[in-house]
Amino acid sequence: MSKSILMHENGGPEKMQLEEVEVGKPGPGEVKIKHTAIGLNFIDVYTRSGLYKTPLPNAVGREAAGVIVEVGPRTKGFKKGDRVAYCGELGAYCQERIMGVKQLVHVPKGVSDEQAAAIMLKGMTTEYLIDHCAKPWLKKGDIVLFHAAAGGVGLLFGQWAKARGYKAIGTVSSPEKAALAKKNGYKWVINYTKQDVVAEVKKITKGKGVPVVFDGVGKDTWEASLDSLSPRGLMCSFGNASGAVAPQSPGILNAKGSLYLTRPSLGAYTATRADLEASAKSLFKMVKSGKVKIAIDQRYPLGEAAQAHIDLESRKTTGQTILVP
């Protein structure tokens, strides 16, 4: 038997309950994993609330690390005792699980289980945003804007952008988060509760605006993001932390300077096994190099997943958060 956070209906954090479940044995192409650390991400909130529709009941999370304790027949590339991690596979809020190996990657020496669990989704998101999605728009020395700079993706983004030679402006909601963002690679930080984001961006860029805005906030930052772009700039809208953006007319992109808009997902950038392995390899290489440092700022026991969601939604968390099975 294994303990699992199960959700039988969508709703608030209280809908997630700790239950005993029978795990069973892995079938062909599958492994049984004993989790050592589970990642917490805002997509878990979307799953729980029902914004992202998923089959019920489910164990909510999509990211974890652990060790393989049993291997099913005809399973290639993985063996008992391997340290592994994954993201994008629904059902991670549990002690043990059975899953196929399609989404699994090996965790190399020099990267801890906690680090891997905390950054698979956020880290590979950062990797595709900077190294693939926005790369055609950028050259070394360019200034970019990232919203929620003290969040999980935000702290990784600041370091990664600096390592690639870009100068990042980050938005935050408090002086404490501003200091944290500055420590993690941001050259400029805007406190949006006290400063006008667009005005500050224009001041920093001498009126030009930025070639790319990375916006994982959604509804609350949509207008400011578009108005911060230079002509023919790229609006990279990759999340909905404040809610989904209302339907827009394509004409808004013309009116604000022949802008480009993309709504990317990690799944599209890691759709093939080769893409997944390349992204994970790039992420782990960056961590082992020390150019991107991983700080686990919050740890919650698995049974306190509801409190972790409450803290995440109220923006009390910073950086990386894990659940401990």
pLDDT in tens, 301-315: 999 999 999 999 988
Domains located in the chain, CATH noted: 2-119+270-324 (3.90.180.10), 138-263 (3.40.50.720)
pLDDT in tens, 237-255: 998 888 889 999 999 999 9
- pTM of the entire predicted model: 0.88
pLDDT in tens, 121-132: 999 999 999 999
Is the separation of the CB atoms in 322 and 294 below 8 Å?
Answer: no
* Residue 201 pLDDT grade (very low, low, confident, very high; cuts 50, 70, 90): very high
Query: Quick check: 204 pLDDT over 90?
Result: yes
Task: Give the pLDDT score at 1.
Answer: 86
Measured CA to CA, the distance from residue 107 to residue 113 in angstroms comes to 8
Is the separation of the CB atoms in 150 and 172 below 8 Å?
Answer: yes
**Biggest distance spanned by C-alpha atoms of the chain:** 62
Under DSSP, the state recorded for 150 is T
pLDDT in tens, 41-85: 988 998 999 988 999 999 899 999 999 999 999 999 999 999 999
